[in-house]
Amino acid sequence: MQGFGIHTSLWAHSWTREAAELAIPEAAERGLAFVEIALLEPGKVDTAHTRALLEKHGIGAVCSLGLPDDARPTNNPERAFDFLKLALDKTAEIGATALSGVIYGSIGERTGKPPTEAEYDIVARTMQKVAAHARTLGLELGIEAVNRYENHMINTTEQAVGLIERIGAPNVFLHLDTYHMNIEAKGQANAILAGAGHLKYIHLSESDRGVPGTGTIAWDEVFAGLAGIGFKGGMAMESFIHMPPQLASALSVWRPVADSREQLLGEGLPFLRNKARQYKLI
Ligand code: FUD
């Protein structure tokens, strides 16, 4: 995955045939390289339909998810593996290249206590099995660091890289997100530089998860950091104007963060592209 993409929450709260028919032609029309498809219910996706649309419009896809609360490696590693195996099979059927996100736990998973060695251990062992299955399908797996209110184990670049090293599989990469880094990192560029060698995917998300360029994210630092590590991966604009019901409570975005899809496409996307151009990333 390379270049610009957009997370499908721009178009719809779940990935139905109607959502695919709206999103894929529009993404292609806007010159995007890929769409990021939220696979929160992998069993329900019409993969052949999505694949045919992607091929027709000549764009790629990346899939992402957070695990269901009852399928976390920390509470049910077998169910976590089964869920991720199904999600990987669907990712491959779609013709996407990677499955990323909070694949190591659920969004909203917090114990009210610091993470333990036992938790990291079962997460890493589960991810080793998942990475091995992904390899048989030629897929990569991304570990997304999210803020402390959404998960207690992986909040920083360093923690994500620690987990990636513990998993020790060649097809596992780091996924960062400017919204989460704005809460957890000592600066956007520091978090990106610390991920050099592992970072292959980034969510470009404003401080309120609304229109990029209208909030407080230090965008020059983001793109200077990416240029500094010679970033060649995928950059996905992410804004939750359509909130997947499975994520609503954990993400707690209760106010509208943008006026419309058109505002995100017409203002947010050009803002990000101009910055990326300025730093010679596209
Ligand atoms: C969650 C988040 C998302 C999430 C993805 C799932 O806070 O940032 O990236 O992992 O949307 O599709």
pLDDT for 150 equals 98
Looking at residue 130, what is its pLDDT? 98
- Which of the listed residues 67, 94, 104, 107 should we mutate to test ligand 1's pocket, taking the one with most ligand atoms within 8 A of CB? 107
* Nearest CA residue ID for atom 10, ligand 1: 101
Q: What are the distances in angstroms from CA 117 to CA 110, 114, 122, 127, 273?
A: 15, 10, 9, 15, 41
Verify whether ligand 1 is closer than 6 Å to residue 109 (CB atom): no
Distance 102 CA to ligand 1 centre (A): 7
Report the nearest atom of ligand 1 relative to the CA of 251: 7
Q: To test ligand 1's pocket by mutation, which of 6, 41, 144 has the most ligand atoms within 8 angstroms of CB?
A: 144
Q: Which H or E element spans position 63?
A: strand 60-66
Q: Note the ipTM here.
A: 0.96
Rounded CA separation 185/218 (Å):
12
Q: Where do the domains of the chain lie? A: 3-278
Give the chain's residues under pLDDT 50: none
Q: Cα separation of 137 and 90, whole Å? A: 11
* Residue 145 · residue 160 · CB < 8 Å: yes
pLDDT computed for residue 193 by the predictor: 98
Q: Is 280 exposed, middle or buried (0-12, 13-18, 19+ CB in 10 A)?
A: exposed
Classify each residue of 158-170 as buried b or exposed e, where b means 16 or more C-beta atoms within 10 Å of its C-beta.
ebbbebbeebebe
Single out the residue of 272, 248, 250, 268 nearest to residue 258, CA to CA. Answer: 268
66 C-alpha to ligand 1 centroid (Å): 7
Residue 254 Cα, ligand 1 centroid: separation in angstroms? Answer: 16
Distance of CA 78 to the CA centre of its chain: 23
Give, as one character, the DSSP assignment of residue 43: G
pLDDT, position 21: 98
Q: How does pLDDT run across 197-221, given as a tens digit for each residue?
A: 999 999 999 999 999 999 999 999 9
Tell whether ligand 1 has an atom less than 6 A from the beta carbon of residue 237. Answer: no
Query: Which DSSP state fits 200?
Result: E
CB 182 within 8 A of CB 149: no
Topology adopted by domain 3-278: TIM Barrel (3.20.20)
What is the reported pTM?
0.98
Q: Is 65 in the pocket of ligand 1 (CB under 6 A)?
A: yes
Residue among 146, 139, 136 nearest 66 (CA): 146
User: What is the predicted pLDDT for the residue at 1?
Assistant: 83
Q: Is the CB of 107 under 6 A from ligand 1?
A: yes
Q: Is 239 in the pocket of ligand 1 (CB under 6 A)?
A: no
